[in-house]
Amino acid sequence: MDTLQWLLALAGQDLSSFFHNNEHTPIERTNRNGERVPIFVPCLERNPATQLYWYRDPALVIGRITFHPCPVKIINTLTFHETEMIVCYEDTIGDVREKYLRYNDNAYRYEWRKDLSMGSETGLLRMDKTLTENGYQVNLRSPIPVFSHVYTTSTTFRFGGCIRRTHSRRTEDKSAEACLPATNGVERLESSMRLQYEQS
C-alpha cells in the first residue's frame, strides 16, 4: 500500500498523535541510515496542485476541532417546541445565532439576554463574545447553563432561566397564537424561547 492509500484508509480518524501539540510539524524518528523521517509515513504526501504537505495546505483545511462540544436545547416557552443543537466552546453568541438560523430564520429579530431584567442593559449578551467571555462558567465538570430568548425586534438569549421581554406593546392574550398589533401591515407573533444547555 502506497502512502496516499494509507492516508485515505485513515480518513475520518484522529491523527493528532503523529504531530507535535498545536503544531503542523510531524513527530520524527531516525531511520537506519541516520535520516530523520516522520513516524507516520503519509506525512511525506504533498498536494500535487500546491506542492504543499497535506497537513500544511490551507486549501485542505475543513475546520478546527472544538475544545468542548456543548449540546443545547431551545424551548419555545409558549408552544414548548424543542430544538436541539450542538455549539462549540469557542463559538461567540453571534456564532450560536448563525447556527440557530437553520431552525428559526427570524433569529436576528430576537434580543439575546442572560437575565430576567426587562429593559436592563446589563443583562444583554455581547454577540461578539464567547460564553465564557459573557461571564458563564463552561467546563467539563460544571453544570451546563441555560439561555432564553423572546421574539422582538432584536433577540433574547438566556443562561440560567427564562426571559419575557419585547420592545413592542404586549397583547393581553398570552396564547400561542397571540399577535402584537400590526406594524407597517406586518403582524408580529410573540414567541418566547428558552435555550438551555443539557448535561452531556
CATH, domain range 69-151: 3.10.20.90
List pLDDT tens digits, range 93-119.
899 889 988 988 877 877 777 764 545
Give the pLDDT mean for 153-158: 40
> In the predicted model, what is the mean pLDDT of residues 161-182?
33
Residue 101 buriedness (CB in 10 A; 0-12 / 13-18 / 19+): exposed
Question: Higher confidence at residue 158 or residue 154?
Answer: 158
Residue 167 has a CB neighbour count (10 Å cut-off) of 12
For residue 141, the model assigns a pLDDT of 64
Per-residue model confidence (pLDDT) at position 148: 53
User: Residue 147 — very low, low, confident or very high, per pLDDT cuts 50/70/90?
Assistant: low
Q: What mean pLDDT comes out for the span 53-70?
A: 83
Question: Is it the case that residue 56 has pLDDT exceeding 80?
Answer: yes
The whole-angstrom separation of Cα 161 and Cα 20 is 42
Q: How far apart are CA 39 and CA 98, in angstroms?
A: 40
Domain borders along the chain are: 3-60, 69-151
Percent of the chain with pLDDT over 70: 59
User: 16-45: per-residue pLDDT in tens?
Assistant: 889 987 678 999 999 999 999 999 988 988
Q: Which range is most confident: 69-78, 123-132, 136-145, 157-166?
A: 123-132
CB of 74 closer than 8 Å to CB of 101? no
Of 20-34, 107-121, 127-141, 174-188, the poorest mean pLDDT is in 174-188
Q: How far apart are the C-alpha atoms of 197 and 142, rounded to whole Å? A: 11
Residue-level pLDDT at 76: 58
Average pLDDT, the chain: 68
Q: Which three cell numbers stand for residue 182?
A: 400590526
Residues in CB range of 2: below 8 A, 6 or more apart: none
